[in-house]
Amino acid sequence: MTSHRKILIVAYSGKGHINPALRFANCLLQTGVQVTFCTSLSVIQLIDNETIPPGLTFAPFSDGHDRGKQPNTPLQQFVSDFETNGARSAAEVISSAAHTGQPFDCLVYTTVIPWAARVAHAHGIKSALLWCQSASILDSYYYYFNEYQSLISCNNNHPTFLIDLPGLPELSIADFPSFLLASCPKEHEFLVQVMHDHIKVLKLDTSIPRILVNTVDELEFDSIRAVKELEFLPIGPLIRSDGRNSSEYSPGMDFFEKTEDDYIQWLNTQPKSSVVYVSFGTIASFRMEQLEEMAIGLREIRRPFLWVIRDSNQAERVRKIAGLGKHGMIVGWCSQVEVLSHEAIGCVVMHCGWNSTVEVLVAGVRTVAFAQWSDQPMNAKMIEDVWKIGVRVRTREEDGMLEGKEIKRCVEMVMEDEQMKMNAEKWREVTREALDNGGSSTINLQTFLHYL
C-alpha cells in the first residue's frame, strides 16, 4: 500500500517543466500517493480545471510576476525571484505538514531549481530531481564539470571539433548545451552555475535514487548507465496520449488560449502520411525574413502542411507567401499530441525541445530537426544519428539562416526514407510498452516509491 505516502512537487514555471511535473503528479496519484503541487500563482491561474488530476492539491505562491514573465524582465531576475519566493513557500508547506502530523516523505523538484533540494535537506526530508531533459544532457553537464571543462572550452570556437564522452555518441562542440558554448548570450551565462548546482545538490541525500527522468530506458540505455554518480530512474514518457493505451498517459495543460481553427477536421481530409507539421515550441521566435524562407520552402514542397505560428501578424504575412488556400493551414495553437497521433501526419519540422522530442518518438513520426538552443542540438543529434528517425537541417554559415531549399531537401528526404519510417515505428512501440504492466518505466516508478 502507498496511500500513506506524501510527496511535494516543486516545479519551475516554464511550460516544459510544468507539463511533465503535472503528468508525474498524476502517475503518483494513481498509485495512491498524496501529492501537493507547488509553483507560481501565474501558472496555477492558467491551468484548465478540466485537466487537473483528481486529488491533486495546489500550493501556489506569488513570485512577483503574477501575470507571467514580462518581455522586459531579464531571465536571471525572473529565476532569482522564483527562487526567493519559491524556497520560502516550499519551506512553509513542509513545516505546516509536519506540524499536522502528516509530514512529506519526499520533495521532487524540476530542472532549473536545484535550491529545492537544499530546502528539503534543511527540513530533514528526502529529495529527488525530476529532470525535464534527456539523460544524455545531464551526463554532458556532469562531464563538463568533472574533467572535461578545459577540453570543451579550449575548442569552443571550433564547432566541428569532436569529443568522445563515455556512454554518449561522438559529439561535436556544436552538439553541446548552448550554455556551455562561447556563442551563449550573456544573459544566459548564469545558467551554467545553475546546472553546476544541479550536480552538487545530488550529494546531499544518497538514500534514494535521485534522478527521475522523462525518458525510456531503451532510448538512452548507455547514457543512463554512463556515470555511476548519476543514478537515473527513467519513468517516461510523461506525455498525454490520444492514441493506444491513452489511459496510461497523464493529462497536461496548455498555456495558450485555444483557437477556433478546426485543424483536426482539416487533417481528416488529407491523405495518410501526407502532411508536414511545423512547430517550434513556445519560446523560439524568428525574424520575418526567416519565416519567409520557411514559407518559400513549404510552398516548393507542394505537400499539405500544418504550421503553428503564434504571432498573428507574422502568420498573416506568411499566409500570403505560402499560399494557404492551395497548400496548407496556419494556426496560432494546436494540441501537438493530438496532431502528431493523426494518421495524416507524415513528418514534423521542429526545434527538438525534449518534451516535443518525446512526443514525436511516442507518435512514431519522422523528423526534420532545426535546433535553436539549450539541449536542442543534442536532441537533434540523437534524432539523426542514434534513433535514426530524421535529419538535421544545414543552415547558412554566415548568418545561421535556414533557406527554403534546405527545408525542401530535408522534408523530401525524410518523407521518402522507408528505413526512417521503420525506425520511427520501432521507437513508437518501445516508448509505449515502457508504461505497460511490467514495462521498464512502470517498474522504475515502483522502485522509487519502494525507496520512500
Residue position matching grid coordinates 510498452: 433
Residue position matching grid coordinates 522586459: 72
Q: What is the pLDDT along the chain (452 residues), one digit of tens a residue?
A: 445 799 999 999 998 999 999 999 999 999 999 999 999 999 999 887 777 888 999 999 999 999 888 888 999 999 999 999 999 999 999 999 999 999 999 999 999 999 999 999 999 999 999 999 999 999 999 999 999 999 999 998 899 999 999 999 999 999 999 999 988 999 999 999 999 999 999 988 777 778 999 999 999 999 999 999 999 999 999 986 444 333 333 434 453 455 556 899 999 999 999 999 999 987 778 899 999 999 999 989 999 999 999 888 998 888 887 565 577 899 998 989 999 999 999 999 999 999 999 999 999 999 999 999 999 999 999 999 999 999 999 999 888 899 999 999 999 999 999 999 999 999 999 999 999 999 999 999 999 999 88
CA angle 194, 196, 199 (to 5 degrees): 115
Based on its alpha-carbon atoms, the radius of gyration of the chain, rounded to whole angstroms, reads 22
| Contact present, 33 and 6 (Cβ < 8 Å) | yes
Q: Global pTM?
A: 0.93
Query: Which pLDDT score is estimated for 244?
Result: 37
User: Pick the catalytic residue: 4, 17, 65, 158?
Assistant: 17
Residue 437's alpha-carbon distances to 3, 249, 359, in angstroms, are 20, 13, 21
Residue 327 among the catalytic residues: no
- What is d(CA 248, CA 290) in angstroms, rounded to the nearest whole number? 39
- What is d(CA 35, CA 9) in angstroms, rounded to the nearest whole number? 7
Query: Which pLDDT score is estimated for 246?
Result: 37
- What is d(CA 1, CA 63) in angstroms, rounded to the nearest whole number? 37
Query: Which pLDDT score is estimated for 305?
Result: 95
Query: Which pLDDT score is estimated for 322?
Result: 58
Per-residue buried b or exposed e for 76-113, using 16+ beta carbons within 10 Å of the residue's own CB = eebbebbbebbbebbeebbeebeeeeebbbbbbbbbbb
> How is residue 313 written as a grid cell?
501578424
Query: Which pLDDT score is estimated for 258?
Result: 59
Residue position matching grid coordinates 494540441: 335
